[in-house]
Amino acid sequence: LTIRATSYAEELVKTAKTIASPGRGILAMDESNATCGKRLASIGLENTEANRQAYRTLLVSAPGLGQYISGAILFEETLYQSTVDGKKIVDLLVEQGIVPGIKTDKGLVPLAGSNNESWCQGLDGLASRSAAYYQQGARFAKWRTVVSIPNGPSALAVKEAAWGLARYAAISQDNGLVPIVEPEILLDGEHGIERTFEVAQKVWAEVFFYLAQNNVLFEGILLKPSMVTPGAESKVKATPEEVADYTLKLLKRRIPSAVPGIMFLSGGQSELEATLNLNAMNQAPNPWHVSFSYARALQNTCLKTWGGLPENVKAAQDALLLRAKSNSLAQLGKYTG
Ligand code: 13P
């Protein structure tokens, strides 16, 4: 097991297995302050620290959330934040049986020399930041880079995405954090499902080539792929069964069974689509735990229901718990609507 000489090897494997436990998935609540501001604006709230704190308190204190949610990805602000009642959010998560995680990438910037594509920053200082996040209670990390189908993707953009993810994964493991490896293949575009499949095969081949080159311990990572679907503007829609067939074919061709968990992003799918697609993928046993790491597909109705009003907190938490439970059932292949 120890191809990687990190003192954390055993702990990494254990953390990854805990997150990839039956009937559970990840709540992505790591919106940067800018993105959180957009979500708050959609319900007419100002982007203040107090409003972000109120919303995040609502999410993490939903009663019994840990039955369906094994990990929560936080933005740096939240890792050091307290609830409105003054309890550390990290402590509340641990009490709920939820492993705290941290977004460690520093976001996307234009990739010079490419076809208007981007790359993900954040490697400078990553080792010391990761060590500090571990001290603060984080046990896993997320790094999201993106690949655009309409803009190429160019060979340069794919290589940069894969290399950056592999360096991040090695540095995270050295500091005790299980890296979530997320090359998001954006939904945007008019292309069909075959084209997404072709691009995804290319991207994952490179990601695993560089993960291996960087001596990353595969048993101590989690993946966060996009599902293989037609482009968002494609005239042809795919059924959950088609999405499941293409996505599982991709995973079987490209992902070693040593990887414990595949935690999909929702990427702009509706709440129901994301649940139905996940359920379709779990109709037969898979070599890995196939689950979710959704932000929008867990939070959309919850946020709208809350609307910033204290009297709506309970109804909003119920909306979150309904999505969490539905996706928990979908992880088990037992969602019936
Ligand atoms: P969505 O599920 O809203 O795509 O967000 C997941 C995520 O964390 C993207 O990085």
pLDDT tens sequence across 40-57: 999 999 999 999 999 999
CA distance 145 to 186: 10
Structure tokens at 93: 């998560």
Q: Quick: pLDDT tens for 201-219.
A: 999 999 999 999 999 999 9
Per-residue exposure over 63-79, b if at least 16 CB sit within 10 Å of its own CB, e if not:
eebbebbbbbbbbbbbb
Structure tokens at 266: 């929702």
Report CA(28)–ligand 1 centroid distance (Å).
Answer: 6
Per-residue pLDDT at 2 exceeds 60: no
Ligand 1 pocket list (CB less than 6 A)? 28, 144, 182, 265-267, 294-297
Query: Are the CB atoms for 299 and 320 separated by under 8 Å?
Result: yes
Per-residue pLDDT at 36 exceeds 50: yes
Report CA(310)–ligand 1 centroid distance (Å).
Answer: 26
For the segment 84-106, the average pLDDT, to the nearest whole number, is: 97
**Token match 């109709």: residue?**
283
CA-144 nearest atom, ligand 1: 10
Q: Quick: pLDDT tens for 279-313.
A: 999 999 999 999 999 999 999 999 999 999 999 99
Question: What was the pLDDT predicted at 6?
Answer: 72
Distances from the Cα of 25 to the Cαs of 84, 104, 226, 263, in angstroms?
Answer: 26, 20, 15, 7
For the segment 168-193, the average pLDDT, to the nearest whole number, is: 97
CA-294 nearest atom, ligand 1: 2
For the segment 167-172, the average pLDDT, to the nearest whole number, is: 98
Report CA(110)–ligand 1 centroid distance (Å).
Answer: 20
Question: What was the pLDDT predicted at 5?
Answer: 62
Per-residue exposure over 31-44, b if at least 16 CB sit within 10 Å of its own CB, e if not:
beeeebbebbeeee
Nearest residue CA, atom 4 of ligand 1? 267
* ipTM > 0.95 for the complex: no
CA-30 nearest atom, ligand 1: 8
Structure tokens at 74: 């936080």
Report the percent of the chain where pLDDT is more than 90.
Answer: 98
Per-residue pLDDT at 3 exceeds 70: no
Report the percent of the chain where pLDDT is more than 70.
Answer: 99
Question: What was the pLDDT predicted at 16?
Answer: 98
Per-residue pLDDT at 320 exceeds 50: yes
Per-residue pLDDT at 24 exceeds 60: yes
Question: What was the pLDDT predicted at 4?
Answer: 62
For helices 296-306 and 313-331, give the axis angle rounded to 10 degrees.
160
Band (pLDDT 50/70/90 cuts) for residue 337 is confident
Nearest residue CA, atom 8 of ligand 1? 28
Query: What average pLDDT does the chain have?
Result: 97
Nearest residue CA, atom 9 of ligand 1? 265
Band (pLDDT 50/70/90 cuts) for residue 1 is very low
Partner residues linked to 177 by β-bridges = none
Closest CA to 249 of 223, 279, 228: 228
Asked whether the bond before 230 is cis by omega within 30 degrees of 0, the reply is: no
Phi-psi region of 73 (alpha: psi -120 to 50; beta: other; left: phi over 0): beta
Report CA(115)–ligand 1 centroid distance (Å).
Answer: 24
pTM for the whole structure? 0.96
For the segment 142-164, the average pLDDT, to the nearest whole number, is: 98
Report CA(268)–ligand 1 centroid distance (Å).
Answer: 8
From 266, 273, 300, mutation site for ligand 1 pocket: most ligand atoms within 8 A of C-beta: 266
**Token match 């941290």: residue?**
102
Centre a 10 Å sphere on the Cβ of residue 324 and count the other Cβ atoms it contains: 24
For the segment 324-337, the average pLDDT, to the nearest whole number, is: 97
Task: Tell me the catalytic residues.
Answer: 182, 224
How big, in percent rounded to 5, are the helix, strand and coil portions of the chain? 45, 15, 35
Query: Are the CB atoms for 222 and 20 separated by under 8 Å?
Result: yes
Partner residues linked to 27 by β-bridges = 72, 294
Report CA(226)–ligand 1 centroid distance (Å).
Answer: 9
For the segment 24-31, the average pLDDT, to the nearest whole number, is: 98
Nearest residue CA, atom 5 of ligand 1? 295
